[in-house]
Structure 1
Amino acid sequence: MAHRSASGSDRSPHPGRSLAGQLQHLDALRRAMARRHSLNPADMRLLWLLSDDRARTFREISEELNLEQSTVNRQVNSAARANLVQISDDQPARLVLATKEGIAAFDQDVDRSLNGYRQALERMGTEHTAEFNALLAEFIEAYRDIVQPDEEP
C-alpha cells in the first residue's frame, strides 16, 4: 500500500520500515523473556563479561561494557551484595570475579533464552533456519559496514 507524503503525493513505503517493525517486535519479545530471568539486565551484562573466569578491575569493566565508572561501581556493589560477584581488595586495584552462584544463575538464564530461540527455530524447520541465519548474518555485516564503516568487526 502506498503512503502519502506531507505534500500528498503517493510514495512507496520505506524499505526499512517493515524490518524496523519486526526488530521492534523482537525486542519486545526479548524483554518479555528477560522478565522470566532470575537476574536483572545489569547483572546479566556483568556476568556475561566475567563468565570467562578472568578477574577485572572496575575500570576494565567500565571500558569493556562502555559504562560510566559510577554506574559500574553501583552495579558491581549490588551484584556483590547478592553474592553474584566477589570483590578482591588484595591488589592495588580492586578486582571483580564472578562467584559460582553468579555463574550458575547466569547459565540458567542464558539456557532459558537459548531454549526459547531453539524452540522457535525448530518450528521454522531446518531449511528455513539455515536460510534465516545466513540472511541475518549477511544483513548484520552489511549494516555494520554502514553504521561502523571504519571499525573492525
Structure 2
Amino acid sequence: MNDDERAIWPSPLYADLVDEIRRLGRRKATHYAGAQLDGSAFSILLVLSDGRSRTLRELSLELELEQSTINRQVNAAIKRGYLERYDVPGQVSRLIRPTVLGAQAFHDDGMLRVDRFNRIFDDLSPGTPEALLRELRAYNDAYDRAVDHEAR
C-alpha cells in the first residue's frame, strides 16, 4: 500500500488491517506445486465435498460468482473429467457432482494444502492453528452480522 492509499484510513492500524486482508485475498490464487486442479475446480469440488450435488445456480450462489462464470468453470472441469452433470427425474435443472477422478484429485490437492498449512504453522511462533481459527471465525461472524445489519 502506498502513502496515498494509507492516507485515507483514520489510523495506521486500519491501513495495516486492510493491507493484511488484501494479502489474504491474494492467497486464493496461489499455485500448489504438483496440483492437478486449477483454483476454480478446487473451489467447486470443495463446495461439493459435502456429498450433495448442486445446480449451476446453487454453485453460483455458494461461490458468490456469476452463473455464466460458474458455467464456464464447470464445463472446463467436466472436460477434464473432474465433474459430471446428470438428470434427475421431475427436475428441470441438471445436477453437478464430482467424478471418481475429481474426488481423488480434490483429495490429493487438499493434502497439498494441508502440507502447506503444516509448514506455515511450524513457522508461526508463538501462534497456533487453534488460535488463528478462533480469531478468523470470530472476525467472519462479526463481519456477517455487520453486513446483515447494513442490509436491513
- Report if TM-score (shorter chain) is over 0.5: yes
Instruction: State whether structure 2 residue 51 is matched by structure 1 residue 53.
Output: yes
Asked if 1:15 is matched to 2:16, the reply is: no
Aligned residue for 2:96, secondary structure, equals strand
Which sections of structure 2, spanning at least 5 residues, go unmatched? Answer: none
Greater C-alpha radius of gyration: 1
Aligned partners of 1:50, 1:113: CA distance in 2, in Å? 17
CA distance in structure 2 between the aligned counterparts of 1:44 and 1:100, rounded to whole angstroms: 14
Partners of 1:90 and 1:12 lie apart in 2 by 55
Quick check: 1:139 aligned with 2:113? no
Question: 1:134 and 1:61 mapped to 2: Cα distance?
Answer: 27
Name the counterpart of 2:110. 110
How many angstroms apart in 2 are the aligned matches of 1:146 and 1:102? 37
C-alpha deviation, 1:90, in angstroms: 5.3
1:89-108 CA distances to partner (integer Å, 9 max, x unpaired)?
Answer: 45443121101111111122
CA deviation string 1:108-141 (max 9, x = no partner): 222211221122112335x531444434443333
Contact 1:33 1:113 in 2 (8 A): no
Question: What are the Cα deviations for residues 62-88 of structure 1, in whole angstroms up to 9, with x where unaligned?
Answer: 333233332232222211111001111
Give, as a single letter, the amino acid of the residue that structure 1 aligns with 2:127: H
Amino acid at match of 2:59: I
**1:110 to 1:141, Cα distance in 2 relative to 1, 3 A:** same
Counterpart position of 1:39: 37
TM-score (norm 1): 0.71
Q: Percent identity?
A: 27
* From 53, 62, 65, the counterpart of 1:64: 62
What is the CA–CA distance in structure 2 between the aligned matches of 1:90 and 1:146, rounded to whole Å? 39
Whole-Å separation in 2 of the counterparts to 1:137 and 1:90: 36
Per the TM alignment, residue 29 of structure 1 is displaced from its structure 2 partner at its CA by 4.9
What amino acid is aligned across from residue 111 of structure 1 in structure 2?
M
Paired letter, 1:68: E
TM-score (norm 2): 0.71
Q: Which residue of 2 aligns with 1:83?
A: 81
1:128 aligns with 2:138: no
User: Which has the higher relative contact order, 1 or 2, with Cα contacts under 8 A spaced 6 or more apart?
Assistant: 2
One-letter identity of the residue aligned with 1:77: N
CA-based RMSD: 3.1
Shift of 1:36: 5.6
